[in-house]
Structure 1
């Protein structure tokens, strides 16, 4: 096994390894993810997001695989504008993940992913969050954000 304290990742910018000092995603101490099925009503999504103060909610298909997410601020805007109703299925508002391809490769982010790789993912995918799954991508464990990384660095000093 590689020593994550001293072994930099080949795909990262110089200095990122030093910035995170070998920390990995599990060191962020993220709250467990709350996922919804694609046929869940909008009211459940809005309630869950409000109670947990989440901006993104992972959406799962009938086999419990992640297929996309809801961006809660947009969902709230649509609800307030009347373009969606409480009992509509969240499937009407899902932002689907792109299918894996050479131009959009699927990146697995799991608890032991080094934080420098997570930051590189945010940069290369031009996104502000990542679903943290188990290595086999069977379960969504948490949602990591750029803010989580910034908070971690500040907390660590």
Structure 2
């Protein structure tokens, strides 16, 4: 059996060790995420596609007129539909939005810049991404993904100070 380079790497993977080993007290703010790019619910689809091609985001949050998160556009899925001619440029982004399911039983998980990365990791175990908001949930500040956590651990060189 051949040994791959990845299996003998000296940099621990993001999935190994305890969360306290990986993150050492770091919070979401430490991920240095770019500012969130979001769209209003009444934005036209052609504008969303244009902006999606200009940016490298996999998901775009869709907000209500009151700036409340309603759901998201899956950019890869939308681009495929666009290239296949399966969407109308005049459609509202809301018609192609995957809506958030609010579960009264579990409540709303608040992810802010001061949320510990251990909490974010737990949230991302069952979600594609997290919207990072201010404490009062009035503004979407960033979008965090599992890849952001992995990049953070790799950049930090866990245990190699």
| TM-score w.r.t. length of structure 2 | 0.83
Match status 1:62 vs 2:80: no
The CA deviation at 1:52 is: 1.7
Structure with the bigger RCO (C-alpha within 8 Å, sep 6+) is 2
| Partner residue, 2:122 | 120
| Partner residue, 2:32 | 29
Range moving further from structure 2, 74-83 or 127-136 = 74-83
The CA deviation at 1:92 is: 0.9
Larger Rg: 2
Q: Secondary structure at the match of 2:155?
A: helix
Q: Secondary structure at the match of 1:57?
A: strand
Q: Secondary structure at the match of 2:112?
A: coil
The CA deviation at 1:41 is: 0.8
Distance 2:62 2:103 in 1: 17
| Partner residue, 1:149 | 149
The CA deviation at 1:50 is: 1.8
The CA deviation at 1:17 is: 1.6
The CA deviation at 1:19 is: 1.0
Aligned residues: 141
Range moving further from structure 2, 88-97 or 73-82 = 73-82
Listed one character per residue, the Cα deviations across residues 45-75 of structure 1 (whole Å, up to 9, x for unaligned) are 1122221211100000111111111010111
RMSD: 1.3
Q: Which runs of 5+ in 2 are unaligned?
A: 1-16
| TM-score w.r.t. length of structure 1 | 0.85
Listed one character per residue, the Cα deviations across residues 96-119 of structure 1 (whole Å, up to 9, x for unaligned) are 1112311x4310100000001100
